[in-house]
Structure 1
Amino acid sequence: MTVPRMCELLSKGPNLHWTRAGHIAFLPFMGLYNSVMSGAESLIYGSRIKKVKLEKPPVFILGFWRSGTTLLHNLMTSDPQFSYPTMYETLFPSHFLVTEKINTTLTAPFVPKSRPMDNMPVAWDVPQEDEVALCILTLISPYSLLAYPHDVDENIPSLHVESLPEAKKQRWKDALDRFVRKLTVRSKKQIVLKSPSHTYRIETLLKMYPDAKFVYIYRNPLDVFNSTCHLRRTMIQENTLGRPIFKDVEQEVKRLYRLAFDRYQTDKQLIPEGHLHEVRYESLAAEPVEEMEKIYASLNLDHVDEMKKAVEPQVEKLKNYKKNKFDPDPVLAKEIYTEFRDAYEKYGYQPPLPDLE
């Protein structure tokens, strides 16, 4: 995050807490470093970034948090015909073209081996969601909520870019456009982007990339709810600059899920025929190669045989992956089914309890 964005972030949250002193003390140094390196990148690559053209439109992976978007992203980006933003590029989006090679080499031994919320492998070069970069570049993102969990109502509008004031909308679009251009400077391959937040932004994405293709992944609503609540608590604990606040997590997740489901059902009608494929998480996890073949056929993607070869090692890793387990709660199960029965019925999931049938 550069100095201007850092000042904006700090101005939003009066509730800094002494227990986060280590996080806060580190911010000025990183802000200055990022600003200097961003200027250097603009001097060296500015002209190339402006002139570069996408040979193919991006592929966007959509779906609510904990619906399997990371699994799908990892499978698709194992295909060598695609490019993707790495973890380093999303954490340092303002200067990765000039710093990625040296910084990842120097710091690789210090990177955690897995994500705290779900044990997925972590490294500087693994695929990462572009929402992290957009948050750092613009603060127009629900992820800024992680720094100040009390600002829920202020951050919800950032999900639907079309409803933002014109200046903020343009800032967000410019940031995505520049980030995609920079990825294209780094590699001419077709880019696969994954962000649950993009599920709310189909209208904007189509205006920017009319020929973009989309893959939407869905999962059992109760599993999604339990896992997303766990994710939010973990990420708030890791990232907040104030005292961690968890009391409203369940209600926030319900609110976000309802908004995502309704927005997607409306906006998917805007996507041209042949540019959208929907996949069930449980089917993808059970038969990844077969489901990937369906995605490629539906979206008219090339090099299916190469994809199958590339996906096989990922399938082996899947066999050893251990999902988080959550204790069954009949009261919660009934509550989620009652509130999101339309999602259960839309995607063919059975009620979580026999007496709800």
Structure 2
Amino acid sequence: MLSKSDRFGYVSPFATALPWDFLLLGRALAPLLTKKLPEHRYIDKVQVNADSPQEDEIALANMTPLSFYHGLYFPKQFDHYFQRGVFFDHTNATDIAQWQRDLRYLYDKLALAQPGRRLLIKNPVYTARPAMLRTLWPDAKFIHIHRNPVKVFLSMRNFYTALFAQFALQDWSHVDIDRVVLETYARMMSNLRAETKDLTKNQFVELSFDNFQSDPMAQIERIYDHLDLPDLDADRPVFEGYLESVRDYRKNSFTASDEVKEKVATHWGEFIRHWGYEDQI
């Protein structure tokens, strides 16, 4: 939603597909690439078009071996690729330094393509590494949106199932998706809490997904206020127009079994209590 303001730059579908070449080749091939875009995202019914903001993870998977998407492509070694791509396990300082150079290169090109705009990046993987991002960009600001953990679990189960079906080049039936989701969320959230606890109000803001869904403009106001972002009054009509355009959108809906609720309560109890979801499990 924030990307609708022309104050923010973002990762386009062309930058995702052609991270090395989107400034030149991407522009030349734009008409062809636009025709090849999927109608909507593979994991839900959010429409995709030529200016739809994308997460940068697929772009990085096209640039570097350190991305969990390689585990989706080659699931015979899913755990190896996944742990390397999310937590940098089984890597060394040289591997990480190269990933950082590639990330800087990508962001420099995005900034060049969108001059004068502050880059707005959405990537759930970065929940696991705010400290590293702060070393690269000390003035970075972070927005974290938490959600009922049961709904997170069901959403992530759908995410991996859908993307394996779409991208896997090998059999993936051996991958225990529930285990992956349970272990990854706990480790990510522990990292997030530890590595953001010293951030000031204008560097980090945390929102409830339910609050964002029920009153998005109030949460946008909170983001602008906490992070000291300018000119909300100028951006407000853009946000309100976008909200009107998606008024009829219906997100995925999943039903949680008692088994799922028990799994989530057992593995993520610390986070359920931290964000006050005890009555929703």
TM-score higher than 0.5 here?
A: yes
Paired residue for 2:204, among 256, 276, 292? 276
Paired residue for 2:92, among 158, 161, 165? 165
Q: CA deviation at 1:352?
A: 4.2
Instruction: Measure, in 2, the Cα distance between the counterparts of 1:163 and 1:277.
Output: 32
- Residue 193 and residue 163 in structure 1: after superposition, are their counterparts in 2 closer, same or farther (change >3 A)? farther
Instruction: Measure, in 2, the Cα distance between the counterparts of 1:97 and 1:78.
Output: 21
| Contact map agreement 2:76 2:170 (CA 8 A) in 1 | no
- Residue 103 of structure 2 is aligned to residue 176 of structure 1: yes
Instruction: Measure, in 1, the Cα distance between the counterparts of 2:105 and 2:148.
Output: 36
- Residue 117 of structure 2 is aligned to residue 185 of structure 1: no
Partner of 2:264: 336
Partner of 1:122: 48
What pairs with 1:1-357 in structure 2 (closer than 5 Å)?
A: 75-154=1-80, 155-161=82-88, 164-188=91-115, 189-245=117-173, 247-352=175-280
Instruction: Measure, in 1, the Cα distance between the counterparts of 2:72 and 2:279.
Output: 32
| 3-state SS of 1:238 partner | helix
Q: CA deviation at 1:91?
A: 1.5
| Relative contact order higher in (CA < 8 Å, ≥ 6 apart) | 1
Instruction: In structure 2, list runs of 5 or more residues that go unmatched.
Output: none
Name whichever of 265-274 and 287-296 sits farther off: 265-274
* Cα deviation digits, residues 12-44 of structure 1 (max 9, x gap): xxxxxxxxxxxxxxxxxxxxxxxxxxxxxxxxx
* Cα deviation digits, residues 69-96 of structure 1 (max 9, x gap): xxxxxx1111111111101101110100
Q: CA deviation at 1:246?
A: 5.8
Aligned residues: 279
Give the TM-score taking structure 2 as reference length.
0.94
Give the TM-score taking structure 1 as reference length.
0.74
| Contact map agreement 1:86 1:124 (CA 8 A) in 2 | yes
Report the residue type matching 1:221 in the other structure. Answer: P
| 3-state SS of 1:216 partner | strand
CA RMSD for the aligned pairs? 1.7
Q: CA deviation at 1:162?
A: 9.0
Instruction: Measure, in 1, the Cα distance between the counterparts of 2:158 and 2:24.
Output: 36
| Contact map agreement 1:145 1:152 (CA 8 A) in 2 | yes
| Contact map agreement 1:337 1:351 (CA 8 A) in 2 | no
Instruction: Measure, in 2, the Cα distance between the counterparts of 1:132 and 1:240.
Output: 14
- Residue 194 and residue 170 in structure 1: after superposition, are their counterparts in 2 closer, same or farther (change >3 A)? same
Instruction: In structure 1, list runs of 5 or more residues that go unmatched.
Output: 1-74
| Contact map agreement 2:75 2:175 (CA 8 A) in 1 | no
| Contact map agreement 2:71 2:77 (CA 8 A) in 1 | yes
Higher helix share: 1
* Cα deviation digits, residues 306-332 of structure 1 (max 9, x gap): 221111122123421112122331121
| 3-state SS of 2:144 partner | strand
